[in-house]
């Protein structure tokens, strides 16, 4: 007899099934703002547009760009050892990154909505030999379906904040069933591992954070030299991966910094390039002259802001700026991974809200390898100080790179722990019950 689901799990599944028709409206609304690709709608409802590849298939789900970047080296290692890999994402920017960076033997699809119909259609078609969900993508219908099918299932590079742990702990019966579904959790840190254990995960290991094993950020040397020539000797700072509301903070800081550094150039890179037109409107309203990377517009002495409205060029932008403010940290986005900036040699300043990468930032702050500011005014003061003292900025960046280098090794440990799940398994029926 199949294990009985807790009442809350059954209720969640029933509600998700009833609401599935509304996902069509949700998709339409999101597509209007560029958050969905209309031509790929079928994927969000579990209807594949590609055939399942022959052989062993490993499915990796990484929601957005940060998670995708962290697992690309793992995907490369898996394909190099003969596995086929299916990578799913939620965001359009992560999909674009995946399409550009996936190795031969890997393919991309969008993640289906977490409802019984879409999830079962997806799993029936792809029938993965191993399923891996990255960080904190905890979806009840998906977890339940994988558990019921007996699909080997790993929570990869697992992260669970103290706030999330407390929320799950309030629904102990629900959480106990859900967190027992993965066969293993590979946690980023000891603190994450302990939270997962308390919630009922059966096996928890701590190989480290895959984000420390990120590849060196790529920058075309010819492009970099060309831009450096255009910038000439002007001081430069970068506001990277900004979200709505943070563009205004960066521009306020920039205009104050210009009182001390009149020739200062701001490199502004929104987290989502699709926001470029809105950002340009904001710049125009402030009377600032912008040159856009996507349009190959040159930087001259009259350029106030260079807008990095492209994907896959963060290595270039970090390499142009000795000081970087990393966005997603003055709003509720939860911060962005600082490893790329550290590897590129840019001194890092962040706001206070970095829950998504707190374990990484904690080490950075302890080692004085990054600066944390609490308010926009402190951002002005910190960036000004680093621009005044280039030796201080350089020393901070060197400490950050050393810390990242010391933290590497999670990839090889993760691959070792995955080996038992990569062995051939007996064929199972595709169905999963109601």
Catalytic residues: 67
Structure tokens that stand for 403 in this block? 């810390």
Among the listed residues 327, 318, 377, the one whose alpha carbon sits nearest the alpha carbon of residue 349? 327
Rounded distance between C-alpha atoms, residue 6 and residue 12, angstroms = 10
Count of all residues that appear for the chain in the document = 434
Rounded distance between C-alpha atoms, residue 161 and residue 133, angstroms = 17
Rounded distance between C-alpha atoms, residue 235 and residue 232, angstroms = 9
Which segments of 150-292 does DSSP mark as H helices, in order?
162-169, 172-179, 190-198, 221-231, 246-257, 276-285
Torsion angle (degrees, nearest 10) of CA 308, 309, 311, 317: 0
Rounded distance between C-alpha atoms, residue 53 and residue 107, angstroms = 9
Please, are residues 95 and 37 in contact by the beta-carbon 8 Å criterion? yes
Rounded distance between C-alpha atoms, residue 393 and residue 384, angstroms = 11
Structure tokens that stand for 247 in this block? 């563009």
Residue 155 CB neighbours (<10 A): 27
Among the listed residues 288, 307, 303, the one whose alpha carbon sits nearest the alpha carbon of residue 239? 307
Residue 80's Cβ-count burial label (10 Å; 0-12, 13-18, 19+) is: exposed
Q: Residue 160, SS3?
A: coil
Among the listed residues 245, 252, 382, 249, the one whose alpha carbon sits nearest the alpha carbon of residue 323? 382
Rounded distance between C-alpha atoms, residue 116 and residue 432, angstroms = 10
């Amino acid at each position: 007899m199949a294990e009985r689901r807790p009442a809350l799990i059954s209720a969640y599944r029933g509600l998700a099934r009833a609401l599935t028709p509304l996902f069509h409206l949700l998709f339409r609304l999101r597509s209007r703002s560029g958050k969905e690709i209309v031509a790929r709608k079928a994927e969000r409802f579990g209807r594949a547009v590609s055939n399942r590849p022959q052989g062993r298939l490993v499915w990796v789900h990484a929601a957005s760009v940060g998670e995708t970047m962290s697992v690309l080296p793992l995907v490369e290692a898996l394909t190099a050892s003969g596995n086929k890999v299916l990578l799913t994402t939620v965001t359009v920017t992560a999909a674009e990154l995946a399409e550009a960076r996936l190795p031969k033997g890997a393919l991309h699809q969008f993640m289906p909505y977490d409802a019984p119909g879409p999830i079962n259609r997806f799993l029936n078609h792809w029938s993965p030999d191993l399923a891996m969900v990255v960080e904190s993508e905890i979806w009840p219908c998906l977890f339940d379906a994988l558990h019921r099918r007996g699909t080997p299932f790993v929570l990869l590079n697992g992260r669970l904040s103290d706030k999330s742990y407390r929320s799950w702990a309030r629904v102990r019966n629900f959480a106990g069933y859900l967190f027992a579904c993965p066969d293993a959790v590979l946690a980023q840190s000891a603190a994450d591992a302990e939270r997962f254990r308390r919630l009922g995960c059966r096996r928890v290991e701590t190989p480290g954070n895959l984000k420390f094993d990120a590849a060196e950020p790529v920058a075309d040397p010819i492009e970099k030299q060309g831009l450096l020539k255009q910038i000439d000797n002007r001081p430069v700072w970068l506001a990277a991966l900004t979200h709505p509301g943070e563009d205004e903070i960066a521009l306020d800081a920039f205009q104050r910094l210009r009182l001390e550094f009149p020739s200062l150039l701001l490199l502004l890179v929104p987290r989502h390039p699709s926001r470029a037109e809105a950002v340009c409107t904001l710049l125009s309203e402030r009377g600032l002259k912008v040159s856009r990377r996507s349009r190959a517009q040159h930087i001259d002495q009259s350029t106030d802001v260079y807008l990095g409205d492209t994907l896959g060029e963060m290595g270039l932008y970090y390499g142009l700026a000795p000081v970087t403010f990393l966005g997603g940290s003055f709003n509720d986005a939860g911060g962005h991974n600082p490893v790329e900036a550290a590897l590129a040699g840019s001194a890092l300043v962040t706001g206070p809200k970095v829950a998504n990468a707190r374990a990484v930032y904690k080490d950075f702050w302890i080692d004085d390898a990054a600066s944390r500011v609490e308010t926009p005014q402190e951002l002005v003061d910190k960036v000004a100080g680093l621009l005044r003292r280039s030796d201080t900025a350089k020393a901070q960046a060197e400490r950050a790179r050393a810390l990242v280098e010391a933290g590497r090794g999670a990839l090889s440990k993760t691959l070792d722990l995955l080996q038992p799940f990569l062995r051939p398994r007996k064929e199972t029926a595709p169905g999963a019950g109601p």
